[in-house]
Structure 1
Amino acid sequence: MFALLALAAVVVAAGILPWGDTLVLADRVVPVLGFVAAITIVTELAAEAGVFSALAGMLARWGRGRRTLLWIFVLALAVLSTVFLSLDTTAVLVTPVVVLLALHAGLPPLPFALATVWLANTASLLLPVSNLTNLLAEGRMDAGGPVGFATLVAAPAAVGILVPVVVLSLMFRKDLRGRYSAPSVERASDRTLLIVSAIVVAALLPLLVSGLEVWIPATAAAVALIVLFGIRRPGALSIGLVPWRPIGIAAGLFVLVEAAHARGLTAFITGLGGSGTDLLSLLQLSALGTVSANAINNLPAYLVLEPIGHSPVRLAALLIGVNLGPLVTPWASLATLLWHQKVTSLGVTVSWPKFMLAGLGVVLLTVPLATLALWLAAGR
């Protein structure tokens, strides 16, 4: 991270990225990174208060001992967490909760672990707050706020959720039959902290789609929880709540890729992903996004290819590639790397060759079908 930031500073200081362009870039990305910091603080403190564990306990009770019903509830939790609180929240905070739930209920943990990482990526298309790439694209689309954005991508977002769910349910159909013993759930040590934190998170969700700039309600929620924890559990507050490493990496990438575009990268990539909004051109762009994300990670892939997404529909096709496509290589998405750290710390073994093969199969189904859905919904 530090080397990346140092290189970015040299690029600006040397004038490789002109100062005027640097100010324009800062005006665009500072609110985005501010949202990332605020929503991370909110979700980390909510997890510390026991909100996600309480949700898992509710799901275990609602499942009434039926594995299929519990599976449906876990999938719904992963989707809603990704859509409203971002893919990293699902990968980092929801994963350990549902994996421990499966272990305590005597269920195989792998289906639940794969569900969280696949849906963390593929369910991250519907709202601007679902993925950092979406926040960046929304600013270029002028789609009419979160509702307009969701309207544009609703059809491919539905495909991105349904295809992995169907594949997972078929892959693990034997493990998901029968019954389970509902595990006992520990009561929260501070009931007031849990309830107030849950209220703050519940109040935040509709505000994220209200049309306000998302960093405003997220920051307000973060401040509210910081004050609450300062009163009731000050030991949980630390500078480490801010995701310095992801923010630093993203900031450095923004500067370096913008400098590359200013020095001719845009001209180089023009034509690689097609130029129109016909089905073939959209498939070409989403495929390029998928390959690039699995090669170099989805955020730099989006930043590099963004200039050739010169219309809302083309930007949506690019998002299909960089959001739904990073299921093959471990480094394609930061969420996948964070997820792997969590599941291995819980004793769940993941075979990368099998992970990559299964992910490739899902991508080969999901990305073309989602692109087709986008083309049909756009009336092309």
Structure 2
Amino acid sequence: MVIATGILPWRDTLVLADRVVPVLGFVAAITIVTELAAEAGVFSALAGRLALWGRGRRILLWLFVLALAVVSTIFLSLDTTAVLVTPVVVLLALHARLPPLPFALATVWLANTASLLLPVSNLTNLLAEGRMDVGGPAAFAALVAAPAAVGILVPVIVLSLMFRKELRGRYSAPPVERAPDRTLLLVSAIVVAALLPLLVSGLPVWIPAAVAAVVIVVLFGIRRPGALSVNLVPWQPLGIAAGLFVLVETAHARGLTAFISNIGGNGTDLLSLLQLSALGTVSSNAINNLPAYLVLEPIGHSPVRLAALLIGVNLGPLVTPWASLATLLWHQKITGLGVTLSWPKFMLAGLGVVLLTVPLATLALWLVAGSH
């Protein structure tokens, strides 16, 4: 309606489309790849291997699960961890007769806080990289590496201390289930493994993701055509994201930028960066991290300020259930598996982690940025 009526000028609409269509295309392609890889049994097979490598020691299995959540989030996005890794990890815990809540909580916290390192880790990062113009994924990672490390280490330490009693002792490794189609499993695993380095090669990320999606769709068309469906495309999240892009762009075209410039600061000193990351954190937990980023992006006048904003909208959405789409998707998965959760306790624990993680990550960013 805002486009059709001219509330958002046509020229602004074309500029917006040029920016976000490749981003949404990447989201669609990577979702198809990960959904079909999960259907082929890639994540289940990997979890089974982790159970064997744990050698019956709970703490060792815990470390492997944490590593899986981190790697999945960094290379395949936070939504992949929330939607595909969570049920695999929870079922692994249940089959090994371990309490599932520590593993479930680890996946959702790390899905959010480990999503800072690469552009592909989070939709907000993809949007920010285009504005930063720092020279590709490697330069992006170099800028945010220190705060990203804080975003991973602090939640891991907190979780390990919270559940230290549950992580003592041993477990019985569940039997590894044999994939019904081993060829499909192996080729899908190769496609995913080949995709990971290509996503950080400097190519526009939608290109390798689209090629991988075509390859794996053709593979399933040959081996298991019944698994192919138009529902593999995440229509609802894409529609929500596209709508938010248009509405927030319209608000900026009608004066929102001038308003937020008065409350977001404009420097790269530690206090200004803390102000921006805190604003991103509060906004994410109030209205969700994607619209929070879109609203606040214009006051990220430099790569360092945009990185501070990413700290807030990536590491901060651990308090309210709606702070990130990944958390809502995660909750849907764990309740379907019979895992109960107290939202007040979840929010209180998340608040404690956020109060530690966001300031420390912002401090790390300031120290690194100051050294350059």
The interval holding the TM-score normalised by the smaller chain is over 0.9
Please name the residue that 1:84 is paired with. 75
Which letter does structure 1 place at the counterpart of 2:92? L
What pairs up with 1:186-265 in 2 under 5 angstroms? 186-265=177-256
Please name the residue that 1:7 is paired with. none
Deviation at 1:271, TM superposition (A): 2.4
Deviation at 1:143, TM superposition (A): 1.1
Count of residues in correspondence between the two structures: 371
Please name the residue that 1:126 is paired with. 117
Please name the residue that 1:165 is paired with. 156
Cα distance in 2 for partners of 1:13, 1:106 equals: 57
Please name the residue that 1:16 is paired with. 7
Gaps of 5+ in 1: 1-9
Q: SS state of the match for residue 176, structure 1?
A: coil
Cα distance in 1 for partners of 2:72, 2:16 equals: 29
Cα distance in 1 for partners of 2:57, 2:264 equals: 47
Cα distance in 2 for partners of 1:191, 1:31 equals: 33
Which letter does structure 1 place at the counterpart of 2:70? V
> Which consecutive aligned stretches of 4+ in structure 1 deviate over 3 angstroms post-superposition?
none
Alignment deviations for residues 226-285 of structure 1 (CA, whole Å, 9 cap, x no partner): 000000000000000000000000000000100100000000100212110000000000
Gaps of 5+ in 2: none
Cα distance in 2 for partners of 1:272, 1:189 equals: 57
Q: Does 1:74 align with 2:65?
A: yes
Alignment deviations for residues 29-73 of structure 1 (CA, whole Å, 9 cap, x no partner): 000000000000000000000000000001000000000100000
Of 146, 167, 175, the match for 1:176: 167
Cα distance in 2 for partners of 1:155, 1:80 equals: 17
Cα distance in 1 for partners of 2:226, 2:6 equals: 44
Which letter does structure 2 place at the counterpart of 1:141? M
For normalisation by structure 1, the TM-score amounts to 0.97
Please name the residue that 2:358 is paired with. 367
Percent of aligned positions that are identical? 89
Cα distance in 2 for partners of 1:140, 1:36 equals: 18
Deviation at 1:151, TM superposition (A): 0.3
Please name the residue that 2:129 is paired with. 138
Cα distance in 2 for partners of 1:90, 1:143 equals: 27
Q: Does 1:151 align with 2:142?
A: yes
Q: SS state of the match for residue 246, structure 1?
A: helix
Which letter does structure 2 place at the counterpart of 1:54? A
Cα distance in 1 for partners of 2:362, 2:117 equals: 14
Cα distance in 1 for partners of 2:293, 2:204 equals: 21
Q: SS state of the match for residue 378, structure 1?
A: helix
Please name the residue that 2:295 is paired with. 304
Cα distance in 1 for partners of 2:321, 2:86 equals: 16
CA RMSD, 1 decimal: 0.5
Cα distance in 1 for partners of 2:71, 2:47 equals: 13
Cα distance in 2 for partners of 1:125, 1:101 equals: 27
What pairs up with 1:108-127 in 2 under 5 angstroms? 108-127=99-118
Which letter does structure 1 place at the counterpart of 2:190? I
Alignment deviations for residues 335-367 of structure 1 (CA, whole Å, 9 cap, x no partner): 000000000000000100000000000000000
Cα distance in 1 for partners of 2:121, 2:263 equals: 27
